[in-house]
Amino acid sequence: MNTSGRRAGRIAAAVLSGVAAAALLVGCGMNGGGTGGGEARTELNIGIGQLASSADIQVDTASTSRAALTHVYDRLVEPDFKGGWLPSVATKWEFNDEVTELTFTLRDDVTFTNGEKLDAAAVKYSVDRILNPENKAYALGTLSAKFSGAEVIDETRVKLLVKNNDATAMSALAQLYLVPPKYSEKTGMGMGGKGIGSGPMMIESFAPNDRLTLVPNPDYWGDKPVKNLERVTFLSIEDEAARSSALDSGRADIVFPMSPDIWSGLKRSQRAKPVSSLMGQYQNLFLGKYDQDSPLKDQRVRQAVNYAIDKQLIVDSILLGTTEVPSQMVPRDSPLYNPDLEPWPYDPGKAKQLLAEAGYPDGFSIDMESTVGRTPADREVASAIVDMLGEVGIEVNWTPLPATEWLQKFVNGTGAPLFMLNTSVEPSMMSEAHFSQWTSTSFTRVMADPEFDRLVADMNATVDEGARAKKVQDLSAVMLEKQPVAMLYQVPMLYGAAQEIQGFEGRPDMSFDLSSISIGG
């Protein structure tokens, strides 16, 4: 009996309405002749899912909004998106032998757009500002997990104090944006409604939750100034249909995020084109907590759940081939990637066998929670998983939740045993840092394995990059065996861009390089 064919039909039906909507969108105008060619334009409009309520990047929490504000602020170092780092404000950095201090040497020619000097004192102030819990900075959790503070050595040297001899501490630096001390101290968190940085762009105007207009910083110190654009405006357009309409009408030149069905429809458009990238995020199905009484405490049951999910069918039928099924939470082009690992296979027969061996020959009933609209097609993916688990006898009581409620339940430990959650290795892309999430002391509480804890601690203390890479590869193999989560797919980020946009490319942290973009010409 061919159950996979019927399942594929149900999953395809789940997205047909979206595909029809995409076809209608194309038929209503996106196939009606482009606006490419002619003279080059220098004003770029970008429609995003949510814009900031503040121009202070440490106050805002919306990921699409941070993609706009990153052009205003500098960091000590920039991620190369393969797990390594590139010089920025800092030209050199090194750990001491005990891995208790991380010392940076700074450029001496960087100033903020209000004229303040970006020196070691400014770096210390920026660190202290985030670490002060009263400020409720966006990066507090990330930075405080790795560093306890900063000390000025001299004007161009500063050291960060490393917690727990952790050689992966640099992963937190992707969220350490630098701000001018005098101005920030005077205006407080929120910076008086004005974001002041030293990056390639500066804020011309800002209407909270509505629009943010940036212009090039004429005194930018870096080697990638924005030369082709005189003005870039980010528009807050929360509704996807409205974002697509803005792209179609020419109100926006680039829009994101997009759902796979609407994005796929752009392939038939003369006005716009689809652009995609893989995020530094992995969509996972969390398989119980070690202090939760459920069948998932048995490793055989966790493996059975993984065998029961046809991840490739999800990628092909729901996400329309925009991503891939992972074997580990490490990008393929990273030196930490373990080439010997393969994604967990789909085998419903093996799933039923393992359930029987674990004492559940007739299956069982279990609760599951997931988000709606947090990642592309997350509702459709969750629905497909419910169907697939049902075919091996696992009856799932599924509750879709708004992102805020879902996140609160996850953090405070009241979530369902099955919990769909994207695990992030961005913006740093230091994939080794995520392993601490799976230790017995982590708030996730998904594994209580002393040997795994020891391996993670050993990896965290290893400064040599080659030795650490081998330990990360070994940990990825342990994760695949222990099955604290079912790794479903790497989360795609889908953009729509006008045909005349050139040089636009998404990055794993949802940012992009404005210096490479031009319009027409």
512 shares a domain with 488: no
In the predicted structure, residue 217 carries a pLDDT above the cut 70: yes
- 8-state DSSP, 133: G
Structure tokens at 384: 């497909």
441 shares a domain with 340: yes
Confidence of residue 521 (pLDDT cuts 50, 70, 90): low
Is residue 1 a part of any domain in this protein? Answer: no
Tell me what pLDDT residue 35 has: 44
434 shares a domain with 483: yes
- How many Cβ atoms sit within 10 Å of the Cβ of residue 259? 20
CATH of the domain at 219: 3.40.190.10
Q: Extract the runs of DSSP E, i.e. beta strands, from 389-460.
A: 394-401, 418-424
Overall number of domains in the chain? 3
Report the chain's mean pLDDT, rounded to a whole number: 88
310 shares a domain with 456: yes
70/59 Cα distance (integer angstroms): 13
Is residue 234 a part of any domain in this protein? Answer: yes
By three-state DSSP, how is residue 411 classified?
A: helix
465 shares a domain with 343: yes
Structure tokens at 103: 């010392």
The secondary structure element, H or E, covering residue 405 is: helix 403-411
- Name which residue leads in pLDDT, 409 or 243: 243
125/225 Cα distance (integer angstroms): 26
331 shares a domain with 211: no
89 shares a domain with 20: no
Tell me what pLDDT residue 428 has: 57
The two most distant CA atoms of the chain are separated, in Å, by 74
Is residue 426 a part of any domain in this protein? Answer: yes
Tell me what pLDDT residue 62 has: 67
Q: Radius of gyration (Cα) for the chain, nearest Å?
A: 24
448 shares a domain with 502: no
- How many Cβ atoms sit within 10 Å of the Cβ of residue 158? 24
486 shares a domain with 348: yes
In the predicted structure, residue 28 carries a pLDDT above the cut 60: no
Is residue 58 a part of any domain in this protein? Answer: no
Contacts of 190 (CB under 8 A, 6+ apart): 54, 55, 56, 59
| Domain closes at, from 151, 171, 193 | 193
221 shares a domain with 254: yes
In the predicted structure, residue 10 carries a pLDDT above the cut 90: no
305 shares a domain with 433: yes
Dihedral, 166, 170, 174, 180 alpha carbons, nearest 10: 100
Is residue 145 a part of any domain in this protein? Answer: yes
Partner residues linked to 150 by β-bridges? 160
Tell me what pLDDT residue 317 has: 96
307 shares a domain with 260: no
Quote the percentage of the chain above a pLDDT of 70.
90
Span 269-321, pLDDT tens digits: 889 999 999 988 899 999 987 777 889 999 999 999 999 999 999 999 999 99
Which of 435, 429, 426, 427 is closest to 460 using CA atoms?
A: 435
Span 43-93, pLDDT tens digits: 999 999 888 788 999 986 667 778 899 999 999 999 888 878 999 999 999
CATH of the domain at 140: 3.90.76.10
Is residue 5 a part of any domain in this protein? Answer: no
Q: What range defines the domain where residue 82 resides?
A: 63-193
| Domain closes at, from 193, 210, 240 | 193
86-95, 114-123, 397-406, 506-515: which range is least confident on average? 397-406
In the predicted structure, residue 135 carries a pLDDT above the cut 80: yes
By three-state DSSP, how is residue 286 classified?
A: strand
| Domain closes at, from 155, 172, 193 | 193
By three-state DSSP, how is residue 288 classified?
A: coil
